Chain A
């Protein structure tokens, strides 16, 4: 995002109150809407900029180097892909606590001796297919339980979180499974135009997610289901089926994240993705997606992920403990949610 875009957005956002009560032809209202969401993103950009300044002041060139930026992005990629999937589920008013576990299970299943042998004999894509299939099936189970079994999303995915982690331990026997399929590693550890493949994958998933949410009937249904499920149902939208698809989607992104994790760490392990669900949900909510559903923003989520990863990076560079880092994360989450509530009450009072 360029400087100029940001500054115009701020101005229009400031005049949004006047605009909403006055005349609203299609063009002006669309501009309001556009800039409304842009206006929210301004806060995120400012936060990220502030963090970068802090990083530069405290760690200097070590922070501002190309290498370090790529490190941040590489770390952001896995959480980022999960967060894109999570954005959809939260926009629809749901939640998925199992993303971290499902990703862990997918890394284990895709790196078992059997899978790796088959991959070595045929093509490394077998490992990718396995990870995606495992993730999607876990999502499908979540989705069926939630949509048709009427289990509360929190509980269904909590059960999956525990269950998938346990299954991963059983399959791996709590051993770390090293990936030995060379072409797989070569592919996912490569750079493309100086940027790691993992980062490209995140970019592609984010763009695809943005299009899916904002430009397709799938996205419109997601927003409708989250905004008012009863109205959506009475308008003829198949709410249950859509919910099931959404959990499949987030499972699928957990599969993608698993592939990326395998590429980055070269190991499948039942401890992969431990507590990721918390980082993912935090990033999505800090990005501006409403936890109650009805509004979601992919751009916000990307910023949310970058903010958290930059923060982690700064703490690491300054040799500060993860404990202090967690305190800072907690503060950020609370501040973001407070700001969000203020925003929500402002729009409600128009």
Chain B
């Protein structure tokens, strides 16, 4: 652990060795965090490092299994979100939690309405709201405006005002700049500075290192649910050091060896200047038989949208998708599936599986019609085909009659892969194939993906984990803000390079 400087003042809030265990995953594994009054404390870490879980613990949305939270040196428990607010800890989530249909004032006092004998005291509420808006530098926002009419920046101000209305001493901001344009970011910074000068501490989460340089005081870095560095002074810590701390360990040897793809291998998937208005534009790439191509980029960079558009689940506004030489009808999943494309979606449970149906019916969800004879199902054939894949993919438990709900994340992923293998897909699109999958099963899934490629499939992988994309793929596309900012062989770029590209793109 890096510990750069002794702390000058007594911390306002301390988190000590926080552990949070979820079924099958240890999201936090000993996190320490010290927040001083009046500072902007930046929390850095890659996706999945545990930042979101940590702030949910702080907000009372999750209960830690171990560890201690101290406020002003006194141990406290935060059993629910209201308790957090009472202790002066307010959280602004990435998805702004304002109610569009209510007015600014109603939103700010939602849940702690000011009232006299049951009647809401509208005049007092309006007066307080005006004062808050003035303090936040937006006196022009009327307390009676409907929040739905405000811009994202305006909603953020309302969210901040709500935090202040609780007399918050610590405000946690989860990627507050993600929804703002550069001018609005400037105003956000001004507000943050004003808040800190009055003694409020800000916990600031952002992927944009530029911003952290601009307003941050100290940095804590999380990685794999642990604090790997704390009390770093922003001014004295070079960016390269930060990236190294975030990415950490050398890439483990979990990735199977890859065979070079033959030059003359058939191009199975060709995407040409594909675009979807407001999401991404001018995306072109090819995937050959036997090749694994990876998409690296942050959440919200447009990588999943590209994948879904290739699959026909979204209708592109420009460009074409060609599979095995034949152009695909735009915006039709059925056409894509018929052409031999299969998608394993990002959200397995909500987009992939029928949780209360047996595993075999999930595996044959796109093929039951093939097994059927003139419209009548042949469940016996379905079962044996599913069973065959279950054995081939080492599905555990191997029984295909149990409900999909009972499978672990890794095995649900295998069931989805099996769906397309039964169909004999030649092009596989995998969105976050190892999300929520434990380390052991990850290695298995990596091996499966490489085996599929070796057997002649073209595979496209999207992942938030850069080391996964680099370790698994033959070629890598770096996506930032809906554009392909880099395309090349996976071994020609490293994690630092990708992060540099991604951060550069999003700071613009």
**A interface residues, Cβ below 8 angstroms from B:** 20, 23-26, 29-30, 32-33, 215-220, 223-224, 227-228, 230-238, 294-295, 347-348, 350
Contacts and interface: CB of A to CB of B under 8 A. Distances in A.
Interface string B397-419: 10111110110000000000001
B401 A220 contact: no
Contacts of A236: 333-334, 336-338, 366
A29 B399 contact: yes
B357 interface: yes
A234 B345 contact: yes
Interface stretch (B115-123, B346-354, B434-442, B500-508): B346-354
A227 B351 contact: no
B313 A233 contact: yes
Contact of A217 (B313, B336, B375, B403): B375
Given A215-B377, A218-B375, A231 B401 contact: no
B22 interface: no
A217 B401 contact: no
A24 B365 contact: no
Nearest to B313: A234
B401 A29 contact: yes
Given A234-B352, A235-B366, A217 B419 contact: no
B397 to A, nearest CB: 7
B358 A238 contact: no
Contacts of A234: 311, 313, 333, 343, 345, 351-352
A238 B334 contact: yes
Contacts of B372: 216-217
Given A217-B372, A234-B345, A234-B352, A33 B365 contact: no
A334 B14 CA distance: 50
Contact of A228 (B313, B354, B358, B366): B354
Contacts of A215: 376-377
A24 B403 CA distance: 11
Given A26-B400, A215-B377, A227-B356, A235 B405 contact: no
A29 B386 CA distance: 15
Contacts of A32: 401
B56 interface: no
Given A217-B377, A236-B336, 14 more contacts: A26-B400, A215-B377, A216-B375, A217-B368, A217-B372, A217-B375, A224-B357, A224-B365, A231-B350, A231-B354, A238-B334, A347-B403, A348-B405, A350-B403
A29 B376 CA distance: 22
Contacts of B345: 234
A223 B357 CA distance: 9
30 contacts: A24-B399, A24-B402, A25-B401, A29-B401, A29-B402, A33-B358, A215-B376, A216-B376, A217-B368, A217-B372, A217-B376, A220-B368, A220-B377, A228-B351, A231-B353, A231-B354, A231-B365, A234-B351, A234-B352, A235-B337, A235-B365, A236-B333, A236-B334, A236-B336, A236-B366, A237-B334, A238-B334, A294-B354, A350-B405, A350-B406
B377 A230 contact: no
Given A26-B400, A233-B313, A224 B354 contact: yes
A231 B403 contact: no
A216 B377 contact: yes
Contacts of A230: 350-351
B373 to A, nearest CB: 10
A232 B313 CA distance: 12
B131 interface: no
A217 B351 contact: no
Q: Which 10 A-B pairs have the closest CB atoms?
A: A29-B401, A236-B337, A235-B366, A227-B354, A235-B365, A24-B399, A236-B366, A217-B372, A230-B351, A217-B369
B383 interface: yes
Contacts of A29: 358, 399, 401-402
Nearest to A25: B399
Given A25-B399, A294-B356, A220 B361 contact: yes
B12 interface: no
A35 to B, nearest CB: 13
A216 B335 CA distance: 23
Contacts of B368: 217, 220
Interface string B310-338: 01010000000000000000000110111
Contacts of B337: 235-236
B355 interface: yes
Nearest to A24: B399
B356 A347 contact: yes
A159 B366 CA distance: 35
Nearest to B361: A220
B362 to A, nearest CB: 8
A251 B60 CA distance: 51
A234 B353 CA distance: 10
A36 to B, nearest CB: 10
Given A29-B401, A216-B375, A230-B351, A20 B366 contact: no
B403 A228 contact: no
B353 A228 contact: yes
Contacts of B352: 231, 234
B401 A33 contact: yes
Contacts of B403: 20, 347, 350
Nearest to A32: B401
A229 to B, nearest CB: 10
Contacts of A228: 350-351, 353-355
Contacts of A24: 397, 399, 401-402
Contacts of B356: 227, 294-295, 347
A145 B387 CA distance: 40
A84 to B, nearest CB: 18
A238 B400 CA distance: 25
B419 to A, nearest CB: 7
Contact of B419 (A216, A235, A347): A235
B372 to A, nearest CB: 5
Nearest to A216: B375
A227 B404 CA distance: 12
A350 B405 CA distance: 8
A236 B338 CA distance: 8
Interface string B47-70: 000000000000000000000000
Nearest to A212: B375
Contacts of A217: 368-369, 372, 375-377
A28 to B, nearest CB: 8
A237 B333 CA distance: 8
